A and B are shown apart, each in its own frame.
Chain A
């Protein structure tokens, strides 16, 4: 029994990504159509060339009909799936296995979420009928538990911690300001971030990702077929996904300074990709910055910083666009919002641009341009600290030697 991975066996040959934002004038069907249109054009294929589809959405539709109806996909397999905030990455992961197995030649993974039609603030989940005892803690409240726990464990005082979280939001908005697809395309001053109204615990509005609509899609095939479609494919190096036993909220030893699920998913992904030193080997990482303390903790869980040191690395600019390991070069959830089904594929879209040197010059990563680094990582987590699912993927523009 082992997780073996499918390193270099599947390639992405085309991608599409809608602008993310408040699309008052576009519905789910429009977003799916826009992303599909861009992805098929990117791969130079017709929709009918695609053999099978995986659609990820948390709540913007049920069944494969959500995709086949608007796109008039005729009598093909369309799988609709959901895995909380990792939904988009899950659609991609499952499509990869279908292609790698030889069952299909060409597959599309697409994610979508239309959040802005609900009229509510923040994300809104729906539960099956229940006994009414589940804590109704909102997502910002759940993740706000990380900040004081981290600060206490590593002796970071309250003001320093605020600076660290502010720096993360500032950095992601700086990157997003250089991305025409982002929901928020302006830099935001540190004082505006620091003084934003409180939402939960120490988290202000600017510590939280936005609420937006969006869709993104990838077309993939077996690696040996990639050059039929493009001279510049992107290869899948690792796909890892874990669901935790949800032990944190019931285990007195859990201290809210780590996501065990992320640590495990990262270990598996690095093993699959043959990575031994992620900080030195990765050119970039797109991580699930749903809230600023989440990104801080992820830097340690993903092995980018030693335990207890990520806060210093954040302040030192290690993860800035021009830093040693740029994190969320596209602006992250902070700048894009989090249309749940789309986010994982939106992250992959940035790898698609960056690793193939097609990102706009103002945010193209230097270590890729000069060929020093070649790998990108995407990461999602869904749930809450101590009880979540996590995805880690690794991608590269060249097959491994």
Chain B
């Protein structure tokens, strides 16, 4: 009957940038390892959708009663980004959806609010995503990473119950960014370290006291934060057993910013056993600490995720497409302005038709003929097979797999990352749709390939992000 986390999901993009590629292009230190890179058609909202889908994939979960989306890098200001996630998940209109956006610590606000809502009985879905970059050659560019995580909280049935939490806050210029700037500013590293470490100790001690726990009783310790030096110092000084320290995911993924704590916690949940104590410490303008205890429900949840084919964070660390060029990375991030093709820029999607087709554009709902069963993508009112009019029901195909019936590589179509691969996808159980493919090697795609749908940002025009679905090879290597 414990309140806490009942399900989790992580999304790591398909692409990795070798840090040595930056050094090779700009000179200076070669660097080692890779960072995770959101593709040209992804942003924090689209990655949030993918993480949330993975959290909700297993059967028997309570329906989310609220949606909290946190990111330091929102796709829109003024407009709520969580509404696109809400629509892409097909949540009912009575479910509230809110952003906590702007700072890295927003993520913790979402988690804290999620905990509170769970205790009150609301089944909130908390989604955190970040897309980290900085000026070319910066430490943030090299050490950052892109990804998302999602947690479903509930008042009962938790796989990890919330035992206690604590926080501390300080006002100091560790890192900052004015709206519209391309990169963040950071003060000298040792300044931040001396500010963070005492704040972390304070919150850590408070949380353990509330949990009636000593450091040697901790089975898993996650210390997250963009200030790497401070996180290492805290992990080494709070008195937790060395083997309890969660592994550093940054070597492969980079520091995922607001999403880092979520991805690291998900990694622990995928490895933990019942009755273990997990302590998460997040450093961002202070420190946040939560103490969790895994329950007997955890192994079943882990097994259900395996059965549903959801790859683990560990699998994501091992995978990924590593041949992304640095110029392509800069182009995707808008930092290298390349000659466009002699083709018109795409038109901005219009608000009224986008609103009318919310179920299709965001939820990938087809229509199914009630008379003859034919599926229509996009949904239509008249059946192509039996001509019945207005005898349709919506049917969500976002989570239905398909097969490539045929495809082509379009070298003329507008794209930030040409050439565009178009696939004709036949869905399991009927229905066909011609759509863009993504996270795909144009040389490797074949007729008969299995694909799944993924929520993407097709392009942005006139300040409008055009979200829609694409097909991608099933379980693209490294993308989870």
A residues lining the B interface (CB < 8 Å):
118-122, 124, 127, 129-133, 135-138, 140-142, 144-145, 148-149, 152, 198-201, 245, 247, 249-252, 254, 256
Contacts and interface: CB of A to CB of B under 8 A. Distances in A.
B422 A250 contact: no
Nearest to A144: B408
Contacts of B412: 121-122, 138, 140-141, 199-200
A145 B341 CA distance: 22
A229 to B, nearest CB: 44
Contact of B350 (A129, A145, A199): A129
B454 to A, nearest CB: 15
A144 B408 CA distance: 7
A152 B420 CA distance: 23
A250 B376 contact: yes
A201 B409 contact: yes
A137 B422 contact: yes
8 contacts: A121-B341, A121-B342, A124-B344, A130-B350, A132-B347, A137-B420, A200-B410, A200-B411
Contacts of B136: none
Contact of B413 (A137, A152, A250): A137
Contacts of B356: 131
B376 to A, nearest CB: 6
B413 A245 contact: no
Interface string B429-457: 01111111000000000010000000000
B410 A141 contact: yes
Q: What does DSSP make chain A's interface, helix, strand, loop or mixed?
A: loop
A199 B422 CA distance: 13
Given A136-B346, A140-B412, A250-B376, 20 more contacts: A121-B341, A121-B343, A121-B412, A129-B352, A132-B458, A132-B468, A136-B420, A137-B408, A141-B408, A148-B406, A200-B408, A247-B384, A249-B424, A249-B433, A249-B434, A250-B432, A250-B433, A252-B405, A252-B426, A252-B432
B466 interface: yes
Interface residues of B, number: 46
B251 interface: no
B357 A133 contact: yes
B349 A141 contact: no
A141 B434 CA distance: 12
A202 B461 CA distance: 31
A132 B466 contact: yes
Instruction: Please name the 6 residue pairs, one residue from A and one from B, whose CB atoms are nearest each other, closest first.
Output: A132-B349, A129-B350, A141-B410, A201-B408, A132-B466, A131-B353
B354 interface: yes
A140 B433 CA distance: 18
Contact of A120 (B342, B361, B433, B434): B342
B378 interface: yes
B361 A131 contact: yes
Contacts of A129: 347, 350, 352-353
Interface string B79-91: 0000000000000
Interface in B312-326: none
A250 B432 CA distance: 4
Contacts, number: 118
B344 A132 contact: no
A141 B468 contact: no
A120, A121, A250: residue with the most chain B Cβ atoms closer than 10 Å: A250
B57 interface: no
Nearest to A384: B434
B431 A138 contact: no
A127 B343 contact: no
Contacts of A148: 406, 447
A119 B414 CA distance: 15
Contact of B361 (A118, A132, A141, A144): A132
A245 B436 CA distance: 23
Contact of A137 (B405, B406, B434, B466): B434
Nearest to B432: A252
Contacts of A249: 424, 432-434
A394 B62 CA distance: 66
B151 interface: no
Given A130-B353, A148-B406, A251-B384, A136 B413 contact: yes
Given A140-B412, A148-B406, A131 B432 contact: no
A119 B405 CA distance: 35
Contacts of B413: 136-138, 141
B360 interface: yes
Contacts of B361: 131-133
B221 to A, nearest CB: 45
Contact of A130 (B349, B384, B407): B349
A198 B435 CA distance: 21
A135 B420 CA distance: 11
Nearest to B380: A250
Contacts of B352: 129
A127 B347 contact: yes
A121 B353 CA distance: 29
Contacts of B112: none
A173 B424 CA distance: 32
B228 to A, nearest CB: 40
A2 B408 CA distance: 40
A152 to B, nearest CB: 8
B377 interface: yes
Contacts of A133: 357, 360-361, 378, 468
A201 B421 CA distance: 9
Contacts of A199: 411-412
B186 to A, nearest CB: 38
Interface string B331-361: 0000000000111101111101110110011
B466 to A, nearest CB: 4
